[in-house]
Structure 1
Amino acid sequence: MKYRVITAGIGILAVLGLILATSGTAFALPTVSAQAPRPAPTAEYENLTAREWALIAKDPDAHTGERYVVYGVVTQSDSATGTEILRANVDGIRHVDAYEYPTNTVLTGDASAFAKIVEDDSFTAKVEVSGSLTYETQIGGETTAPELQVDSITVTVPASR
């Protein structure tokens, strides 16, 4: 959803640039990057309690830009999500069993960071809250989930089922 808007915006800028270029007016198109700038190496990530995570998950737009350490289990990492997005159930604390992670969450990041991650992997991640994301489900509906930009991710142990 969000990416379609960005793409459409770039197209409009290209047309505007073409019109201005042919009219003799100087105009430079802005450089557009698909990835958010990486945080400074000194960025700090707060540890959370389960309750603190629940409050963030309840209203992720109110926490945009905040950085945390989260834990989770990958629920989808395949050709449908692509190489820079995955879905996971997430919490602010580590759990023993996969079913204990309460929040369906969309994680975005570099393809290289997600290259070795597959469904059912448990992980620890340093993230920045991007807000909420509404997406279409496989059965034709829509759902809204917190969106987190992954700055680093480590697979811990395979989740138990």
Structure 2
Amino acid sequence: MRRIWAAWAWPIVTFVVISAFMITVLVVRSVSGTSADTANASAAPLEPARHVNTRAWRTIAADPANHADERVVVWGRVTRFDPRADASSFRANVDTARHTPRNGVVNYPTAVVLHGAPDILRNLGQGFIFTAEVTVDGTAPAGGAPDATIPALTVTKLTVTDKTVG
């Protein structure tokens, strides 16, 4: 009888030690609040995007790195968008003032790169005119000169306002 108990001693001790360790980890995680549920629940909601005048927008566009995380409302026209290549980003010309189309063309002065969730951008196409709430991220390569950069923005809300222009 003594031999049987000796054969099961190590597996039983190992099981008890592993179980105690797991229970300790669960208790510590629940006390410190680092579970996945509390991490997702503590994400702060975005502040509302604000309307800024064209002069303030040109200041932001000239130095987007110093205006990172600012939220603004922009109007614009899509200049390059290929959802087959990248459904989460596109290029556009934007401004913080709505421009009226003339002879089927609208000219927004600032070229930017916009990123967003593909479900937000699903109704977008090249040449579409839109209004968007965006967060300034910084700069992105312009693609022309090696040192040239343009503002990079993250879209949180986008509304297509005209599908026929351009």
TM-score bracket for this pair, using the shorter chain length: 0.5 to 0.7
Using a 3 Å threshold, how does the CA distance of structure 1 residues 101 and 50 change in structure 2: closer, same or farther? same
- After TM superposition, the structure 1 = structure 2 runs for residues 1-161 of structure 1, keeping only pairs within 5 Å, are 40=45, 43-78=47-82, 82-97=86-101, 98-137=105-144, 141-142=145-146, 143-158=148-163, 160-161=165-166
Instruction: Please report the TM-score for the alignment, with normalisation by the length of structure 1.
Output: 0.68
Letter of the 2:76 partner, please give it.
G
Q: Which digits, 9 at most, give the CA deviation of each residue in 1:91-125, with x for residues without a partner?
A: 01110134420011000000111111001111110
Instruction: Please report the TM-score for the alignment, with normalisation by the length of structure 2.
Output: 0.66
CA shift, 1:52, in A, is 1.2
Using a 3 Å threshold, how does the CA distance of structure 1 residues 65 and 89 change in structure 2: closer, same or farther? same
CA shift, 1:159, in A, is 5.7
Contiguous gaps of at least 5 residues in structure 1:
1-37
Instruction: State the structure with more CA Rg.
Output: 2
Report the RMSD for the aligned CA atoms in angstroms.
Answer: 2.0
Larger helix fraction of residues: 2
Q: How many residues align?
A: 120
Contact 1:73–1:159 (CA under 8 A) maintained in structure 2: no
Aligned residues with identical type, % of pairs:
34
What is the match of residue 26 of structure 1?
none
Larger strand fraction of residues: 1
Contact 1:39–1:151 (CA under 8 A) maintained in structure 2: no
